[in-house]
Structure 1
């Protein structure tokens, strides 16, 4: 069997991380542990800083449970970038403390509570146990559609959301997050802080063990907050604590073993989220609602469960949870993530039939809430990421695999390649039979057997990681999450409309920050059925910028019977009317990929005179016109256009470059409270509006108390928030410069300016002046 996994040069994800984004917080940790294997570190950093600096949970309110701090640490263990993770310590702590309120933490039990819905698991067992007559168990599911408020016996809202519950999953997350903070504090040299958080984590873990474990079932269970009702039933979340190092002795492992039969959690497309012997288990759904956790197979949970199985199997601490069992369950997971013979992930899958159960149109397609690459790299191939110069592998690869290769996997600033060629005959090149490990193409370890590896990396990991981390982070300045409102703006001379009302394929989808290559759900522009064989796309920025390159994500669906193909040619004209790029034919256009077009020296609008592109040439303009000519008999479709500029290192940060709120339009572009106006080289903030700037830093990028000037005017007050942790109120009356002192953290900081009264105007934020 062959598995060839190749490192990618650039990850294309359907979110622009350079601006505030919408995501499902419970799945964000899964996203991080997937992103940690990318060559480009900036995607991972941007997601982390959305929480530690951008204040996702502070601005929007805490919602779903998560293990973000632990995921941040795990990401750093792969990248090796210790200075970056240390610089995020204050934000990691501030995030954690948002949960230490009486609405999420109980001082009596010392445990965290959340409804199953807010643990991303609606319609799960606790709701059935308390949602029936008199607050007891559900007796009959279909109570003629009547809720308790309508005279029925079932409380369907409570069945759906579940009661506030001390959950083993949520509390395991919080233990892991506290331990992660402790480890990062230790990396920073703050031993006292590290000890404080380690002791807190140990105390919380101890309370979990005494309160959330059922001796009757020998399994982790839910306990209802307030009544302390013990929900005696096995749910798949009982496998979560071990993934975070909780409940690892023989007794707890035996409890996990007991559920791994076809009577309990194992199924053809399993595991099930509720054991099959439970009276509330259903292999099919008893509702058309998308999301039910009383039996369906959820990739979100399965990916955590697989890591638990892998960690037990590689330690050899169970005769039941073995490498063979893990391989069996990973095989099921792989087969599950298909639809109609092609890779596909939706929300939930039926456990006994080959069909997705949570798969609604424009909602669940390619649902990013689970992991897979990380399950392959860490669980199957057994890479155990950690800081330092030692590489540890504990592979769980099937013994009958005679060959596999993992090529150019980024780790600690280097690219590692693993080649297993049992007899040395399968792969060409200079290698011997057995397992060979290369760093940037140079062999540094070889062994004849496919077994554990503990070897020293042939490079200084700290230096290599920092060299990679120091590379410039090019910025895409075209993404506008408020599209089609405000600037930057993308328009086109034509867009396909099938009903004359709402246009699904409007031009602004080319800069809404969402990038994917699918026709459903759609997020692309197309000139299909246009009467002319080319289209003109206009790009307008908020101010002139020095543009390095333009990238187009070209959607091609001809292999699926569609009519969208790569354009025949492309021409780019700047704001002066000069041609800065021309390709006809555009022979190197790659379908369903990000095509980057460098500029040439501008020429008068005569395309035949365009010189050879210059990779280092920049065009300074606030307007570009992109002309795409169709291939004969085909149309053109573009998912996203990106404009790349060098990072702004300050000291001046223009307000119009920021993200303007409040947030956000819908699929059809209807505004929802957008109340900031770009004008006069800045942003006017009306009632409830705000503007947010990222990347604000000191001159040397280090931490320190620094003067920061808000250049503005108008009449009114604003709150200046730094990394959503501190607020300073400023009052404007006509044009004015207001200087304050802020404790900037190392690297980029987030400055968010909120309108409080009147109509203030913000021109720029200037550091150190």
Structure 2
């Protein structure tokens, strides 16, 4: 039965992989990979070598073209880098976080802290066996049980798995793994939930060492883990709906509602207008704004009345630094004062957190009526994020950086090609605006500000079993597919608009 299922999945992928992009030619972008391959001697090779990289990318990735060649270059660099982290294990494929062996990793050098990022980014690969194998290794790779360190770090894995389903429509996989996800949530409740209902975490196990608000031994309720568990509960409710189990659906919807009420009641600081850590055992707010205060919007949790927190994002006194979004309030006395162990989360810029904040920001712009941030703000921060991914003039992604100079603070072999964030998912779902959903409608809402670019194209996107093409062509002369914004499925026009605005249509 397993062989039959694998063959079915493989041939579905093979059929998709030979589908043709509609307006972009893959060969146009090969020069990026040729250049990336010259940047190193490739000291470590996992499943796919540099020499195989371009062939793999042609078979697997959406294509993107825009007038901003730095943005375009980093897009292809991040796919080239992600490929480096695909590892063949006795259980199948898996995604590593570091290329070099880490002492605190689980089997096969796997680390769970950024698994949610791995899922969000890799859901756009045409061959989904990589992610299927990775997830089954994490949840069943220890003699049918989860790997021992699955819950070593806070995670939003279940939310990510459901959001992956919104892209590929693979109900069979989410139904298959549903019992594992239920058991995982229940273990989190046993291990990390206070009697009052909020979840707690050491800052180091939030993958955020040495924050201003917490400590390696402090059991504090944090906006991060509580946002994650809210997102996971909503996802479990959504998967239960697919299975037809009304009892599980209602139970986890209720759990999510309870968490939302508690976060808004217990973690909101009325003085700062921000979600903050609640210090224990004093049971008082930490009175420091940190970037994790934006995480609740990653899961569309807060009511609209809390949106004023986002006024801090673009304020240079608080989070808006020259090199990126800081992990703590720049005006706080503890800003960048006590980082240790090569892991400062007391203010330096981390791609891990930047990716979360930009995903949350895209949700705010798409799903809330608000006037706090704009598309221009989103584009400014996304472009700053893209430009930060360089070192000595060459594409580079590391662990964290100085907020003023943009200098990578761990530019060593450990942090090289750090697989700890997303970027391409932000381009696809934010900038180009493809908003995954469960039904047969396609929704596109580019967050590119009007008047910024005259054209861009996102092509060869495998979505709901079809190849999707999104084109913005102000004059119609670039791609010769008509003026304005248009969305295509398997080469057939779905919807068109003369302006850069939200459009929906039937697949």
**TM-score w.r.t. structure 1 length?**
0.52
Counterpart residue number, 1:526 = none
Query: Is contact 2:210-2:340 (8 Å) kept?
Result: no
Structure 2 partner of 1:51: 138
1:345 aligns with 2:345: no
Cα deviation digits, residues 128-162 of structure 1 (max 9, x gap): xxxxxxxxxxxxxxxxxxxxxxxxxxxxxx5xx25
Superposed CA offset, 1:48-69 (max 9, x none): 2223332575533621101000
Give the equivalent residue in structure 2 for 1:182.
Answer: 237
**What residue is the counterpart of 1:82 in the other structure?**
171
Partners of 1:447 and 1:260 in 2: how far apart?
30
| Counterpart-to-counterpart distance in 2, 1:218 and 1:356 | 31
Native 8 Å contact 1:380 1:396 kept in 2: yes
Distance 2:296 2:267 in 1: 11
Task: Note if contact 2:139-2:146 (Cα within 8 Å) is conserved in structure 1.
Answer: no
* Residue of structure 1 in register with 2:161 after alignment: 72
Give the Cα separation in 2 of the matches to 1:392 and 1:329.
23
Q: Give 1:235's aligned residue.
A: 290
Q: What SS class does the counterpart of residue 40 from structure 1 fall into?
A: coil
Which residue number in structure 2 is paired with residue 113 of structure 1?
Answer: 200
* Cα offset, 1:386, TM superposition: 1.1
Offset at residue 259 of structure 1 (A): 4.6
Q: Distance in 2 between matches of 1:206 and 1:374?
A: 30
Asked whether the equivalents of residues 8 and 38 of structure 1 are also in contact (C-alpha less than 8 Å), the reply is no
- 1:678 is aligned to none
Change (3 A) 1:5 1:29: farther
Q: Secondary structure at the match of 2:182?
A: helix
2:378 corresponds to which residue?
326
The structural deviation recorded for 1:452 is 1.0
Q: 1:384 aligns with which of 426, 431, 435?
A: 435
User: Judging changes above 3 Å, is the alpha-carbon distance between structure 1 residues 204 and 399 closer, same or farther for their aligned structure 2 residues?
Assistant: same
Instruction: Please state if 1:436 is matched with 2:490.
Output: no
- Report whether the alignment pairs 1:33 with 2:84: no
**How many residues are aligned here?**
415
Q: Which structure 2 residue ranges, 5 or more long, are not aligned?
A: 1-22, 27-56, 62-82, 94-106
Higher Cα Rg, which structure? 1
Segment drifting more, 340-349 vs 54-63: 54-63
After superposition, where does 1:640-679 map in structure 2 within 5 Å?
none
Q: Report the 3-state secondary structure (helix = DSSP H, G, I; strand = E; otherwise coil) of the residue aligned with 2:114.
A: helix
| Whole-angstrom CA distance in 1 between matches of 2:364 and 2:25 | 25
Q: Secondary structure at the match of 1:356?
A: coil
Q: For each residue in 1:236-285, what CA deviation from the matched residue of structure 2 results, as whole angstroms up to 9, or x when unmatched?
A: 000000111111313x1112213530011101112111101100102xx7
CA displacement 1:692-751 (0-9 Å, x = unmatched): xxxxxxxxxxxxxxxxxxxxxxxxxxxxxxxxxxxxxxxxxxxxxxxxxxxxxxxxxxxx
| Helix, strand or coil at the partner of 2:153 | coil
- 8 Å CA contact 2:376, 2:448 repeated in 1: no
1:500-579 maps to which residues of 2 (within 5 A)? none
Q: 1:409 to 1:281 in 2, by over 3 A?
A: same
Query: What displacement does 1:315 show?
Result: 4.6
Q: Does 1:308 align with 2:360?
A: yes
211, 218, 223: which one aligns with 1:163:
218
Residues 386, 344 of structure 1: CA spacing in aligned structure 2 closer, same or farther, 3 A cutoff? same
2:418 is matched with 367
The runs of 5 or more residues in structure 1 that have no matched partner are 128-157, 458-769
Aligned residues of 2:200 and 2:221 also touching (Cα < 8 A): yes
1:198 CA drift (Å) = 0.8
Q: How big is the shift at 1:286?
A: 6.0
Considering fraction of residues, name the structure with more strand.
Answer: 1
Shift in CA distance, 416/61, structure 1 to aligned 2, threshold 3 Å = closer
Q: Work out which of the residue numbers 82, 104, 116 in structure 1 matches 2:192.
A: 104
Give the TM-score normalised by structure 2: 0.78
More helix by percentage: 2
Deviation, 1:316, is 6.4
Aligned-partner SS, 1:382: coil
Deviates more, 1:230-239 or 1:6-15: 6-15
Deviation at residue 13 of structure 1 after TM alignment: 4.1
Distance 1:76 1:423 in 2: 36
Q: Deviations over 1:14-66 (max 9, x none)?
A: 22260663322120000000001111111121222223332575533621101
The reply on whether 1:356 has 2:411 as its aligned counterpart is: no
Over 3 Å counting, the alpha-carbon distance change for 1:5 and 1:42 in structure 2 is farther
Tell whether the 8 Å contact from 1:5 to 1:406 is kept in structure 2 after alignment: no
In the alignment, structure 1 residue 203 sits paired with structure 2 residue 258? yes
**Residues 1:224 and 2:279 aligned together:** yes
Q: Matches of residues 229-268 of structure 1 in structure 2 within 5 Å?
A: 229-250=284-305, 252-268=306-322
Alpha-carbon separation, structure 1, partners of 2:340 and 2:151? 28
Tell me how far apart the structure 1 counterparts of residues 408 and 482 of structure 2 sit (CA, whole Å): 44
Distance (Å, rounded) in 1 between the aligned partners of 2:249 and 2:355: 30
Quick check: 1:312–1:322 contact (8 Å CA) kept in 2?
no
Shift of 1:294: 0.7
Residue equivalent to 1:456: 506
DSSP 3-state at the match of 2:183: helix
Higher relative contact order (CA 8 A, sep 6+): 2
**Cα RMSD after superposing both structures:** 2.1
- Counterpart secondary structure, 2:201: coil
Q: In the alignment, what sits opposite 2:16?
A: none
Structure-to-structure mapping, 1:389-408, within 5 angstroms: 389-400=440-451, 401-408=453-460
